[in-house]
């Protein structure tokens, strides 16, 4: 049996590493240079497979990663013009996510690390979503407050550095992206819901329908989107036992509901982020995750941060939804000498820091 003994000697000449991401329904691989440059960023989306279910089906997702993972890795190397034996390390996101999906990426990464005799690096997917903002800046984005808004998470972090962050707020029920996806279903829009709602909202007027801004004025930094989703449902089809007639659920009403929901979600996300920045005395706000693609959110963040003279860094759109190019944080692990071994396991849950 060949023994796995990664060559630490090669670390002084590290040049490029491969990063693998398979935590949910995207099979992704990227080649990232030591200076942070993303040489390739391949994402093989499974969205078409999950569309008819209106959301990600974990078993379908994990099975679909298997035939996609090696082609994604090969394509990332090809686009970067890098041979496997030129890789200095392999990084993989091993938490949080769907357990079966994570296992595919982690197994591929271990096999590569073992067969090439190079170091293995374990990454936190959520930390990588914040690090995606670094691709937009030459100077360090840290320290900062980081907001991650995705299909699985809505988290606020106080980040001292790339690898030292503290969870300071999170959703107590649905994630923001999950709420976009569920509201899209209520409005009869296709999955993924975020882009569908954003498109429909352009034809709507958010002021025509009043929706709640859950927890916005509470001192805690947590979010709640489940009640907002229910409020949309009641506004669309009527609340149980309600006496007033419900306006006709026509095209204009659907567009107004999309716009009102989007505005409520944006107001809460912006408000809580500013609250966190104030609370932790930071001057930079970094925003990543799939929902950060949303133009209304990006514009509202820009307006609010310029009003409060804060530096805002939003992840470039290509690094918002799940991808491996946001794994440049792996180089910080290399510099800190933090490597994994072949015992590396997956951790589906969010790592919670006591508050």
Residues contributing to the site for ligand KG4 (CB under 6 A) = 24, 150-152, 177-178, 180-181, 192-195, 198, 289-291, 293-294, 321-322
CA distances from 291 to 22, 127, 262 (A): 18, 16, 11
In whole angstroms, the minimum distance from the beta carbon of 267 to ligand KG4 comes to 14
Q: What angle do CA 64, 98, 268 make, to 5 degrees?
A: 120
Which CB, 191 or 339, lies closer to ligand KG4? 191
Q: Which of 148, 266, 258, 149 is nearest to 213 (CA)?
A: 266
Number of H helices and E strands in the chain, helices first, is: 10, 10
Segment near Zn ion (CB under 5 A); pick from 4-12, 221-229, 322-330, 331-339: 322-330
Segment near Zn ion (CB under 5 A); pick from 83-91, 280-288, 294-302, 316-324: 316-324
Which CB, 22 or 88, lies closer to ligand KG4? 22
Phi and psi (nearest 5°) for 149? -120, 105
C-alpha Rg value of the chain to the nearest Å = 21
Residue nearest to ligand KG4 (CB): 194
In whole angstroms, the minimum distance from the beta carbon of 58 to Zn ion comes to 15
Which CB, 97 or 214, lies closer to ligand KG4? 97
Residues 6 or more apart whose Cβ sits within 8 Å of residue 103? 62, 346
Reduced to 3 states (helix: H, G, I; strand: E, B; else coil), residue 228 is helix
Which CB, 118 or 155, lies closer to ligand KG4? 155
In whole angstroms, the minimum distance from the beta carbon of 41 to ligand KG4 comes to 13
Point out which residues pair with 19 in neighbouring strands. Answer: 30, 91
Segment near Zn ion (CB under 5 A); pick from 108-116, 176-184, 206-214, 315-323: 315-323
Residues 6 or more apart whose Cβ sits within 8 Å of residue 318? 41, 325
Considering CB distances under 5 to 8 angstroms, the limit depending on partner class, which of Zn ion, ligand KG4, none binds residue 124? none
What token pair was written down for 97? 């996510």
Is residue 150 at the binding interface for Zn ion, with CB under 5 A as the rule? Answer: yes
| Binding residue (CB under 5 A) for Zn ion from 158, 181, 322, 332 | 322
Q: Which of 265, 137, 119 is nearest to 193 (CA)?
A: 265
Considering CB distances under 5 to 8 angstroms, the limit depending on partner class, which of ligand KG4, Zn ion, none binds residue 180? ligand KG4
In whole angstroms, the minimum distance from the beta carbon of 102 to ligand KG4 comes to 12
In whole angstroms, the minimum distance from the beta carbon of 234 to Zn ion comes to 30
Angle subtended by helix axes 193-201 and 176-186, to nearest 10: 70
Considering CB distances under 5 to 8 angstroms, the limit depending on partner class, which of Zn ion, ligand KG4, none binds residue 293? ligand KG4
């Amino acid at each position: 049996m060949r023994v796995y003994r990664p060559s630490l000697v090669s670390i002084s000449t590290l040049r490029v590493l491969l990063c693998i991401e398979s935590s949910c329904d995207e099979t992704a691989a990227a080649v990232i240079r030591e200076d942070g440059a993303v040489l390739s960023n391949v994402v093989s989306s499974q969205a078409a497979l999950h569309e008819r279910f209106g959301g990600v089906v974990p078993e379908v997702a994990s099975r679909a990663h298997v035939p996609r993972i090696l082609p994604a890795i090969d394509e990332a190397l090809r686009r970067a013009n890098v041979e496997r034996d030129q890789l200095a390390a392999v990084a993989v996101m091993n938490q949080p996510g769907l357990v079966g999906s994570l296992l595919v990426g982690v197994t591929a990464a271990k096999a590569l690390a073992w067969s090439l005799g190079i170091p293995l690096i374990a990454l936190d997917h959520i930390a990588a979503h914040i690090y995606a903002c670094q691709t937009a800046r030459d100077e360090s984005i840290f320290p900062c407050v980081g907001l991650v808004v995705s299909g699985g998470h809505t988290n606020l972090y106080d980040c001292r550095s790339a690898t030292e962050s503290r969870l300071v707020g999170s959703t107590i029920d649905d994630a923001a992206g999950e709420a976009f996806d569920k509201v899209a279903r209520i409005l009869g829009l296709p999955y993924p819901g975020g882009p569908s709602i954003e498109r429909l909202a352009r034809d709507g007027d958010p002021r025509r329908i009043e929706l709640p801004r859950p927890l916005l004025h509470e001192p805690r930094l947590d979010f709640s989107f489940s009640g907002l989703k229910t409020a949309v449902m009641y506004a669309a089809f009527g609340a149980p036992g309600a006496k007033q007639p419900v306006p006709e659920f026509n095209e204009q009403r659907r567009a107004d509901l999309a716009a009102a929901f989007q505005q409520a979600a944006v107001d809460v996300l912006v408000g809580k982020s500013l609250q966190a920045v104030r609370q932790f005395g930071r001057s930079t706000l970094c925003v990543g995750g799939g929902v950060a693609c949303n133009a209304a959110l990006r514009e509202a963040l820009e307006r609010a941060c310029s009003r409060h003279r804060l530096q805002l860094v939003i992840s470039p759109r290509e690094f918002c939804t799940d991808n491996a190019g946001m794994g440049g944080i792996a180089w910080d692990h290399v510099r800190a000498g933090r490597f994994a071994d072949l015992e590396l396991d997956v951790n589906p849950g969010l790592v919670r820091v006591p508050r």
